[in-house]
């Protein structure tokens, strides 16, 4: 197993652990939520001390135990979870989170009902039910794991399953180049997971379609030591419940 040999690292996927959590602020006498929570997730694996030298540069961060073993994090992701039942002014809330203002095009203006809503364009085209919108801010895979045939994409799917059981929409803002365009490689990656462009900055996924499930099934069949949807999740949800299945719950593939 060496960083230059992705196949060796992929064999460790069956021992990986994923941690998912959310955090939100409470306000007022009733300790109500703004309806927007910050979420984060990571995947890690523990290796014996004898394998430590061969795993250099394979992790984004690592922790060494007293017995010499190393637990390394090789995948990280984060973003916002919007609860339309509790977020009145979604666009205003997004403005208080750096890097998320571009997602405002997905939501309608406050209408006095106390509930958030999708834009008129999306409201008539999205078929998924549910009241949560998942906004993906960043996804990072350690360099040594890249080129493994979809490890980052499969882990992203697993994280989304645990984060929210039935989102009505999932969106991502891929990084753009100096020309203001999403690079071809980023387009291919997100398109391969069922996302499609909403505008120049935002790509969206309707969880009710089969596009994502079909893509994940293809990844599952190709990757050795793959992470299954019934694997253990250390759900560290904060005030806002993650909505995902419990660690001892039944396996679930679909995002709907």
Residue 104: pLDDT band (50, 70, 90) is very high
The structure tokens 């050795």 sit at: 224
pLDDT at 224 over 90: no
At residue 29, the pLDDT reads 55
pLDDT at 56 over 80: no
- When mean pLDDT is compared across 6-15, 61-70, 135-144, 197-206, the lowest value belongs to 6-15
Residue 204: pLDDT band (50, 70, 90) is very high
| Per-residue pLDDT tens over the stretch 184-193 | 788 888 888 9
How distant, in Å, are the alpha carbons of 102, 181, 201 from that of 178?
A: 17, 7, 13
What percent of the chain has a predicted confidence (pLDDT) above 90? 32
How distant, in Å, are the alpha carbons of 18, 110, 144, 171, 240 from that of 113?
A: 38, 8, 49, 24, 21
Tell me how far apart the alpha carbons of residues 6 and 202 are, in angstroms, rounded to a whole number. 30
pLDDT at 2 over 50: no
Backbone angles phi, psi at 237, to 5 degrees: -60, 145
Residue 28: pLDDT band (50, 70, 90) is low
pTM of the model: 0.81
What percent of the chain has a predicted confidence (pLDDT) above 70? 75
pLDDT at 79 over 70: yes
CB neighbour list of residue 210: distance below 8 Å, 6 or more residues apart:
none
Tell me how far apart the alpha carbons of residues 47 and 39 are, in angstroms, rounded to a whole number. 27
CA-closest candidate to residue 135, choices 256, 254, 36:
36
E strand or H helix at 235, and its extent?
A: strand 233-235
Pair 253, 204: CB distance under 8 Å: no
pLDDT at 131 over 60: yes
- When mean pLDDT is compared across 73-77, 122-126, 174-178, 237-241, the lowest value belongs to 237-241
Q: What is the mean pLDDT of residues 150-178?
A: 86
CA-closest candidate to residue 153, choices 184, 182, 191:
191
At residue 168, the pLDDT reads 93
pLDDT top residue among 47 and 3: 47
Q: Which of 49-53, 93-97, 174-178, 227-231 has the highest mean pLDDT?
A: 93-97
Residue by residue, DSSP assigns 90-103 as HHHHHTTSTT-GGG
How distant, in Å, are the alpha carbons of 54, 82, 142, 155 from that of 6?
A: 12, 35, 11, 15
Residue 68: pLDDT band (50, 70, 90) is confident
Residue 231: pLDDT band (50, 70, 90) is very low
Please enumerate, as own/partner, the contacts of 107-111 that have beta carbons within 8 Å and a separation of 24 or more: 107/82, 107/133
Pair 39, 249: CB distance under 8 Å: no
Tell me how far apart the alpha carbons of residues 152 and 227 are, in angstroms, rounded to a whole number. 11
Backbone angles phi, psi at 7, to 5 degrees: -60, -35
């Amino acid at each position: 197993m060496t960083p230059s040999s992705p196949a060796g690292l992929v064999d460790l996927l069956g021992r990986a652990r994923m941690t998912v959590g959310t955090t939100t602020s409470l306000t007022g006498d009733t300790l109500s939520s703004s309806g927007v929570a910050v979420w984060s997730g990571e995947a890690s694996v523990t290796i014996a001390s004898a394998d430590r030298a061969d795993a250099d540069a394979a992790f984004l961060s690592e922790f060494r135990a007293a017995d010499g073993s190393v637990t390394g994090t090789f995948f990280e992701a984060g973003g916002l979870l919007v609860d339309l039942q509790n977020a009145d002014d979604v666009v205003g809330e997004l403005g208080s989170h750096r890097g998320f203002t571009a997602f405002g095009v997905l939501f309608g203006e406050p209408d006095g009902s106390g509930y958030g809503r999708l834009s008129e364009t999306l409201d008539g085209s999205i078929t998924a039910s549910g009241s949560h919108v998942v906004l993906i801010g960043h996804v990072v895979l350690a360099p040594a794991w890249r080129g493994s045939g979809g490890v980052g994409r499969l882990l992203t799917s697993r994280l989304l399953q645990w984060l929210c059981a039935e989102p009505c929409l999932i969106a991502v803002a891929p990084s753009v180049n100096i020309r203001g365009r999403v690079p071809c490689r980023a387009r291919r990656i997100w398109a391969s997971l069922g996302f499609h462009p909403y505008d120049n900055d935002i790509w969206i996924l309707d969880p009710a379609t089969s596009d994502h499930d079909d893509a994940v099934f293809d990844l599952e069949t190709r990757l050795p030591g793959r992470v299954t949807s019934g694997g253990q999740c250390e759900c560290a949800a904060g005030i806002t419940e993650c909505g995902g299945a419990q660690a001892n719950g039944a396996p679930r593939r679909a995002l709907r």
